[in-house]
Structure formats: C-alpha cells, structure tokens
Structure 1
C-alpha cells in the first residue's frame, strides 16, 4: 500500500560528482524519504541508478514528476546536458531519455539554479526580489533571480562567476582556464592554498590535508589553517564584490557545502566585499546571508520546479 497517494509529491535529485541523491518532496519542501548511491561515470549505469531510485521511492509514494539538479551546461530548454565536468553526459538529451524510461515528466535544472529556487521558495531567499545565490562547494555556482524568474542569459549558461579570472596565469582550473575565482575561493582551493602557505606557519596538519581537516584545524586555532581560511575569505569577498558591482543585488545568499563553515570566513568576506566594491562607503551594500536548506536545497528546489512546470 502506498504511504501517500497525493499528486503533490515529486522526486527531486541532486546529481553530484560523488553521489546521486533522490528524495520524495512535498509541496511544502519537506523530504519524506530519500536514497543515495555513488555516481557512476558510465552514462547507462548512471541513468539506470536514477531509474532504480525512482522505482524504489514510487513503490511507497505516488509521484507524478521527477526533477534533476546537476552541475553543467544545459541547453536553453533544459533538456540537453551539453557538458558536465563531473558527470558522463555530453550533448545528451537526458530529459527525453529519462522521461521515456520512467514514463513521467522529467525536469532538468542547473544545481545552483535549483538550490536558489529552493531557497527562494522555502529558505533564506524568501521575499527577495533582486538577489543572487552564490554556491560555494567543490567549485562556485551562481544564480541571479529577479522577482520569481531565474535569469539564464541568451544561451542558458549565465552566470558563471566562478570562472571569472582573478589571477592571470594562476592555478589550473577544470574548465581549462587558469586563475579562476573558484580555484581560490572554493572547497577544492583550500588544500592548494594550504600548500602555498605551509612554509610560513606552524601547523599540525598532515602533508596533504583535506578541506574538512583544514576547517577543523582552523577551529582549533592551528596557525596555518587559520591563515588558509583568512586567504579564502579575502578571495570570496573579492568575488562577492564583483557580484555586487555587476548586478547590484539586495541580497546574496551563500550556499553549497562550504557554507556550513561560514563562521570561519563570513565576517572577513563581507568586510573584503565592502572594501572592494566600486563606490565603497558611498553606496548601499547587499545583505549577505547563509542558506537555510543546506545540502538538500537543490533537490528540494528542482522538485518544486518539476511540480510547477516552470
């Protein structure tokens, strides 16, 4: 017997480079059940895993749509995955393929856009009219929302603030360029910054620490880890100042995996942002807040988009 036969239920997916997580989401943004599997880099296996999760969940819940949030470039109609750096799809009509296999409506959306929609509906973006969601995790994703609309640009790829070059000929980025913002202000940047600064500070960190080890050490007051987080906050502040200069939003919401450690860098980032913007001291400054939905924002948001047909 189905646990819930409401047509208001949809399944939202967060399709990440490490794991695929799918959950049954209510109209109010609540997660009733979820499943997680490792991400396969084989196209057929990845789609089979998604179908398997849907079949398992809809054995207990009546759902009428599925939404997938993923990092990558989609076509303007959000049907074709043109390129996703951490997933196997290349110029693949994923919406058509999964709709056929599942026999139901499937909605694709960029992960940052999905998380932004979730925060606008149920979290820190509620009530905002012109605002930016800035996702800081493995990389940097961003979404501009005006009123109830996601701005996509002419070809559906806007805005890629994480790939603005801030250090010419700097660190190699997975996008192919060098010196992108996300190579200095993301979770994957922390170990590199740690390596760059290691000779200047005492530390108890291992030779090749993870980002989590660095943030944990910073909380203990480890000199090197503290310096790494200070460097991170300065770069993030510069990125936020670019957002403020280009878009002039009323609100910037910081999400993504690194947002859970905002107490280590948020104050410094906002200070750097205020110093770096054009007209510093003579203009209003966007309010900066942390996301409220955590890592579930993307799957909650894309589930709502799938439900509403937007």
Structure 2
C-alpha cells in the first residue's frame, strides 16, 4: 500500500490549485480548477475544494490537508472571518472540512502560507526578516522574522493589500476605497489596458480578436515582451504603484528582503524594475540607507499550497 499523502490547496478569487507535497516541499502533482468566486455560495466553494483534493489525491489515502485561503483567518485557524473575493463570512471552514474529509485540516491565510514556503525553501531562505507580497486577484502579504511568520493578535497580520494608498480612491472588494490592491494587482493591470484600449497594438489585437473582455494577465505580459507600448506602459504604472506600497512597508518593517509572488509576478522585470525605482524614490531616509532587494518568489504559483502542506504536516507532528 502506498504511503498517505499530504495535500496543500490554495484558493483565491480566480483559481483553486491543489498539490501533493513531499516531505522536502517538492510538489509531486497538481490539479487546478476555476474558483467559484465571490458570487458563489459557501457550499459551492467548499465543493470546489473537495473536487480539487479528490483530483490531486487520485485515490491515495490523505494524511492531511492544508488550506491556503485568500481571506482573514482567525488566530485559532478555525474560521475565515472575511474573504474579499470569496463568500466566506465568519465561517467555521476548518471544522466543516475536517468532518467532510475525515482527515486533519489546517486553515491559514494564503499569503502567510506562501511566506512560510519562501522562508523555508525559496527566495527568503536564510533571511533574518522578509516581506512576501502576492500579486493576484488582490494583494496578499506575509511578514517573516527569524523564521517565524507574524500572524498578529487576531491572526490577520499581513493584509497589506488593504492599506490605503489613495484616499477616496477606487472602490475595493473589501468595501473600502483606495486600497493598494486596486492599483497593483491583476485586475488593476487589466483595467488599465481596457481604459486605453483604442491604443492597443497588433499583439493585443491578435490575441483578443479586438475584444477587451478576452484580456488576461499573461496576454498583457506577452504583448509587453513583444514590444506593445500600451502593455508596457500599464505594467510600468502597476509597478510604480507596487513600489509606492512597498516603500510604506519597508519604512514600517525594514525587512532584509522583499519577495514578490503570485500570478502577476510572472511579468518579471516589467513590473519589478519600476517597483524598485519607486521604492528607492519614496523610501524615507533615501540616500542614507539601502533599500532591500526586491526579488521574484522562487516557488511561483505553488508557494501557497506548499506552505499550507508544510504547516499541516508540522501541526500534525506537533512541531
């Protein structure tokens, strides 16, 4: 009989990504489904989680599951108090899924899970302190100090995407205005391109058939790589907003490094280079201090599920 498997599942506003994770953090196989999203019912979201776990388990016995949830997870790891891009509102997610699956379940914020993975295995390995930013449907954050991720009094530290960077600005999914994620995220990138759609180049035209509703982040990144001026311009703008927010975090936390992950990080230097420039220009004490390096997450889109599985395994072993 094969050994039982440990599974990590990362669920956000657009995707459910599950993976079987080996003892050293190696992802052995994955399954990806569309996320039901904010307009779904709680039951539909948890059905999608079950479908993803079943698909990746492929008949193997499951030792435990770690859930990396895009939302505010309480200090006990029992409830998702609020999820801007999902329907969970003070829901006892861990206990429901434990009963449903008949195995141990760990529940944690998705960016916290990614911070654990990048600190233990990735770009922040060996750093005394690090800030991890995930750029996707929104912006998540994790703060690692001395190998430990800061969770806060209520378990909700690191929700940096909802820092206010533009008072009275764009309406956010959280109900507030001017949140950082409204200016430096995947949806912000697409909104920027659509706002100037008449200036699209031939690559954007070809890949979308002229329909802005067919835009995706990878299409914009590809167009920028192939020299499309509009795609390059909007990525530059998103990068500047990213750097502005990072300057606030660096001023408050003075981390040894900043790690940027999530789907939008695939744009690489097209977004990171302007972020570094803006960070350097806005950082308090510039000229008298060194800005931390801003680097791409090594574990990519799998960081959240890897961290979730690592935390689930550690919790089961009492580590």
Establish whether TM, by shorter chain, passes 0.5: yes
Q: Are the equivalent residues in 2 in contact too, given 1:184–1:193 (CA < 8 A)? A: no
Q: Which residue number in structure 1 is paired with residue 83 of structure 2? A: 84
Q: Which residue number in structure 1 is paired with residue 207 of structure 2? A: none
Show the 5 A alignment for 1:1-310: 2=1, 4-5=2-3, 9-40=5-36, 41-55=40-54, 57-58=56-57, 60-197=59-196, 203-204=201-202, 205=204, 206=210, 208=212, 209-309=215-315
Distance 2:225 2:293 in 1: 25
Runs of 5+ unmatched residues, structure 2:
205-209
TM-superposed CA distance for 1:198, in Å, is: 5.7
Name the SS of the counterpart of 1:64 in structure 2.
Answer: strand
Distance 2:3 2:18 in 1: 18
| Alignment RMSD | 2.1
TM-superposed CA distance for 1:106, in Å, is: 0.5
TM-superposed CA distance for 1:279, in Å, is: 0.6
Runs of 5+ unmatched residues, structure 1:
none
Moved more, 205-214 or 187-196: 205-214
TM-score (ref. length: structure 1) = 0.91
The 1:102–1:240 alpha-carbon spacing in structure 2 relative to 1, beyond 3 Å, is: same
Distance 1:179 1:42 in 2: 27
Name the SS of the counterpart of 1:61 in structure 2.
Answer: coil
Distance 1:38 1:51 in 2: 13
TM-superposed CA distance for 1:170, in Å, is: 1.8
Number of residue pairs aligned between Structure 1 and Structure 2: 305
Q: Are the equivalent residues in 2 in contact too, given 1:197–1:228 (CA < 8 A)? A: no
Q: Which digits, 9 at most, give the CA deviation of each residue in 1:234-271, with x for residues without a partner? A: 11111111111010000100001011111212122111
Q: Which digits, 9 at most, give the CA deviation of each residue in 1:130-173, with x for residues without a partner? A: 11001111111111011121112222211222112222222221
Moved more, 185-194 or 237-246: 185-194
